[in-house]
Structure 1
Amino acid sequence: MKTARAKEAEVYDFIASELDAIKNDIGNNGSKTRANKYTCMALKSRAMLYAATIAKYNALLTPSVATPGGEVGIPASRANEYFQKSLDASKEVLAGPYDLYRKNSDLGENFYEAIVSKSANTEVLFVRDFSVSESKKHLFTYENIVRGIREDNLSSSSISPTLNLVESYDNLDGTPGTLKTRTADGSDFVYYDKTTDIFANKDARLYGTVIYPGASFKGLPIEMQAGVMEWNAATQSYQTVEGDVLGKLYTDGKTQVAPSGPHNSIQEVSNTGFYMRKYIDKNSGASTRGIQSDVWWVWFRLGEIYLNAAEAAFELNKPAEAVSYVNAIRERAGFGANSFTTATLTLDKIRKERRTELAFEDHRVWDLKRWRIADKVWNGNSNNPDAVAYALYPYRIVKPGDPTRNGKFVFVKKVAPRFKSPRFFQIFNYYSSFDQDVINRNPKIVQNPFN
């Protein structure tokens, strides 16, 4: 009864062999809620990519995360074998009856719909579905709707996207997505007529993923303002005035703190200056406890498969093939048809595409783990901008007599007030530990490394 642990490679080999064995017999053609041939190959595409990258990058990690018997750790010599299996499975899916979602000429709305739309959605392969009419529903929208437009008297903004994520979306001219809040010499703010202006000409996936200040949702502009900055002539400086009441007006009769914040300490309002859009239901009543939402949860969609193929092809030294896959994803987001070339495409750029395309779809933490860089990105160092969660707070300028500044908006980048501790991923976090009672019952269960 006491069975030894299988090797990590054996687990992935078993997954691959099982999927290959059943893919032509499983049926369910056209179903998005029951697995079919293409679901099998989507899972194989993902699993083999995980195996390949663990094989390659675990060997480069110092110290490597492995056990002498191979229960943890895959031989680096097998990396290319797994990359090829992932690429082959991806190609099977891409040759199937699916297409990237392109129904809406508004590219930001189109990307949002690619995830939530259930009407002839050609991109989605496999989902966990819900139905309000069948009383199979969930509270995700109730828990994450924008505070200023919530339909219930409780909850909202349980998840606040960070500035770190927002700035990972590039500008459409290919320049980095760092938002301009200060002049080049740092001597003054950059002043904007509208809060949306700072997000102009961005990768359309930003709009489809995140609700940023001034963006619309459910046909309503989402006003976001953390306070005002009033010019003090005596000190020749701005005095920041915030407040503890959402929707409060300033002495000039205009907004002081917007109904949707952001705010340093008020609960159930954005703490970072952003709200989620992806997976949030725009239907009436979806943010109430009574009606709730039936937006589905996407397990597999074609966007991921393109990126799996791009990564595997690049790792196999097939840059031309990799470029064709990643450019298809970027073109849908508003970039030119050939925004990457074989000369400009890098592995880091492919990894960044995964972050922006697949945000909030349960990939990021697993990607960082399989690339064996989670302990470096989230190293617990408060001086590491990747480890710290940042926020962006908009303020309205009050400076009568200065038409170039009065009534304009400025932005302040800051550490998210409720998330001040840097994220700290340690090397033993790559694998969970077994409780000692598990090992006591079966001594053949080998404990995971560093646990």
Structure 2
Amino acid sequence: MKKLIYTTLILVFFSQVFSCKLEDHFLEKSLGSDVNVDSIFSSKQKSLSAIAQAYAMSLQSGITLRYDNGRISGLKAGTLSHLSGEVNDVKFSWEDTYKIQRSGMVASDSDGKALSSDGFVFNYQSIRQCYLVIENIDKVPDLTEVQKKGIKAEMYTLIAYRYEEMFKRYGGVPIIEGTLSVDSDLNIPRATLRATLNHIIALCNKAIPDLPDSYNASEKGCVTKGIPMCIKAEALMYAARPLFNSNTPYMSLGGNNNLICFGTHDASLWQQTIEANEQVIRWATANGYQIINTGNPLADYGTAVATPNNREVLLAFKSQNFIEAYNPHSQPGGANSMSYLQLTQYYKTDGTDQTWTGENWESYATYVNKCNELEARFKASAAIAGQQAWNNPGSHYWSSETLANASTWEKRAGSEGAGRRVKFFYMADTRDWFEFPLYRLAEFYLNLAEAYNEAGNPAQALQNLNVIRSRAGLPNVTETGQDALRKLVQREWAVEFYEENHRYFDVKHWKLTDIANGIIGGEKKGVVFEYAPGKSEGWNAWDYASYAVKPVYTGYWDNSQYLEPFPQSEVNKGYLIQNPGY
């Protein structure tokens, strides 16, 4: 029953947390966590509230929550997909993502808080909550020693997760190893990039021995032995990529370059990445996880990314407090749609590229035919203008008419784009909630494809890459040239993990050549429509006349945007060195 209680308490926590005011210092008291500590840890039942709060605070990193108007945990509306170039934010100018897309991240948005994808202070409140549990769980009289060790391991895993999330956003960050007292020196400087990576790995290694391989059905959602393996594997992947694994940083930070760069190209990091990701796959397959592949690509991919508790997802975020930002039936989730750039990443079902009209108008029927020729992962991820969502056939709730009229005060005309956002709702019918996949087994096959290619082993790279392509119904790749294969792997990442919070970090850590020219910055294109005579908006197929690909806005890029800014209010206290360019 532990997991059921966790989930209930997580929902209660999120209904309250965003009405709270942040403390003045990022290491000060977490949101009500150490009030009456002795009472909280006087029984197993009471301690579950603190444990649930640690889960809730830690695992929502990068996921846009409801009512976070104060940017406590991250973005105020919009998602990382808006910032990565996957989704065009063209509707609401008040959204953080609309502003960042056009003007970039800044260290202070008039109030001392950073305008970025992350709530920096909240990271440490989450970490402090985990240490609160670690330091007090031994007081609980009705837990066994094995249970106490397991709970501590869960908390160390959550701490590692938060540090890994900061690592890929900021580089080196301050490291704390306890709740700290009021007498402690709170002005802890940033650790080096290398020290931060080592800390993440050490936390993972500490947690692994005391975690179980699985839980009872009622406890799904707790971190298993495989999750610290996942965190370590992902951290090493980001460490090995060009942004950090370089002789020189993306911008100079003077004598502090070691906060954002290793200062040398370490080829051995790719081998370490291979070993860590192989460990994840060995563990996962030994414990019943699998790449879902029954020979029905749409159903298989749809199940993998959207069906709760499926055998491909190793860990999911189980709160339902975030669905509005991703659900096309809601105001924020329905107002912005797939970008043209993302559309071009998908293959036709035969593995070749689709051709699109460009700025010349072509018939709506031509557009529908071209979309029908695309691979199953597109059809599982998008509902195109005027058509029933492929991933919910026969459900009126997922008809074009319903999606177009999903808001009672503003219809969705003009926001169809290359496809409305339906990825997380395969066969959902009227179910509006989903569980955001944090670690999906496909990630570790693509990590291996990338790492083996960089390590000069194209045969192993292809073997892992083709596991994912096979499930998608695409022919195997045979390319062995390193540069060409690298591009194919990167394209596979873009397709397989659309809207799963990978692309935003991938394009930066790869340092893609076109990052300033159409990916994040530069001319951003969208699919636009002309409506049938007498129509001013589109609800059904007969409302549409033609389509074209047109520029919809100009994106912002500066090299400072590779990493995120620390809040100026924290930098002004003198203990934090700001990332370059802010």
| TM-score normalized by the length of structure 2 | 0.57
Work out whether residues 195 and 394 of structure 1, in 8 Å CA contact, stay in contact via their aligned partners in 2.
no
- Partner residue, 2:581: 450
Aligned to 1:163: 340
Map 1:10-409; keep pairs closer than 5 Å: 10-27=195-212, 29-30=214-215, 32-54=220-242, 58-59=246-247, 63=251, 67-68=255-256, 70-78=258-266, 80-96=267-283, 97=285, 98-103=289-294, 105-118=295-308, 121-130=310-319, 137-138=320-321, 140=323, 145-146=327-328, 157-180=334-357, 193=365, 196-213=368-385, 214-216=387-389, 217-220=391-394, 260=404, 267-269=411-413, 270-280=415-425, 282-287=427-432, 293=433, 295-336=434-475, 338-343=476-481, 346-373=485-512, 377-379=514-516, 387-394=522-529
Distance 1:190 1:414, change over 3 A: closer
> CA 1:195/1:55 → structure 2, altered by over 3 Å: closer, same or farther?
closer
**1: CA distance between counterparts of 2:188 and 2:544?**
68
* Partners of 2:243 and 2:250 within 8 A in 1: no
The CA deviation at 1:321 is 0.6
Question: Is the contact made by 2:250 and 2:559 (CA closer than 8 Å) also made in structure 1?
Answer: no
Paired residues of 1:67 and 1:73 also in contact (CA < 8 A): no
Deviation per CA, 1:144-177: give whole Å up to 9, x if none.
555xxx5x8x675133111211111022333223
Deviation at 1:194, TM superposition (A): 6.9
Alpha-carbon separation, structure 2, partners of 1:155 and 1:21:
40
Deviations 1:119-156 (A, max 9, x none): 5x2211011124xxxxxx3462x56555xxx5x8x675
Match of 1:290 in 2: none
Summarize the Cα distance change of 1:67–1:305 in structure 2 as closer, same or farther, 3 Å threshold.
Answer: farther
Q: 1:223 to 1:129 in 2, by over 3 A?
A: closer
Change (3 A) 1:67 1:122: farther
How many angstroms apart in 2 are the aligned matches of 1:208 and 1:396? 26
More helix as a share of residues = 2
Q: What secondary structure is seen at the aligned counterpart in 1 of 2:315?
A: strand
Larger radius of gyration: 1
How far, CA to CA, are the matches of 1:408 and 1:260 in structure 2? 13
SS of the equivalent of 1:175 reads coil
Partners of 1:394 and 1:301 in 2: how far apart? 35
Distance 1:346-1:278 versus aligned 2 partners, 3 A rule: same
Question: CA–CA distance in 1 between the matches of 2:225 and 2:354?
Answer: 39
Secondary structure, counterpart of 1:388 in structure 2: strand
Give the CA deviation at 1:71.
Answer: 1.7
**d(CA) in 2 for partners of 1:407, 1:11:** 55
Contact 1:115–1:298 under 8 Å retained in 2: yes
Q: Percent identity?
A: 19
Is the 1:144–1:275 contact (alpha carbons within 8 Å) kept by the matching residues of 2?
no
SS at match of 2:316: strand
Q: Number of residues paired by the alignment?
A: 374
Alpha-carbon distance change, 143 to 3 in structure 1, aligned in 2, over 3 angstroms = closer
CA–CA distance in structure 2, aligned partners of residues 60 and 3 of structure 1: 26
Alignment check: 8 A CA contact 1:378 1:424 kept: no
1:100-137 CA-to-partner distances (Å, cap 9, x unmatched) read: 0125x531232121111125x2211011124xxxxxx3
Name the counterpart of 1:423. 555
TM-score by length of 1: 0.71
Structure 1 unaligned residues grouped into runs of 5+: 131-136, 225-246, 248-257, 288-292, 399-405
CA distance in 2 between counterparts of 1:19 and 1:144 reads 31
Distance 1:95 1:62 in 2: 36
Amino acid in structure 1 at the alignment position of 2:404: S
- Distance, in Å, in 2 between the alignment partners of 1:349 and 1:163 is 19
Aligned partner letter, 1:22: A
Shift of 1:52: 0.9
Deviation at 1:25, TM superposition (A): 2.0
CA gap 1:385/1:50 in 2 versus in 1, 3 angstroms: closer
Q: 1:95 is matched by which residue type in structure 2?
A: R
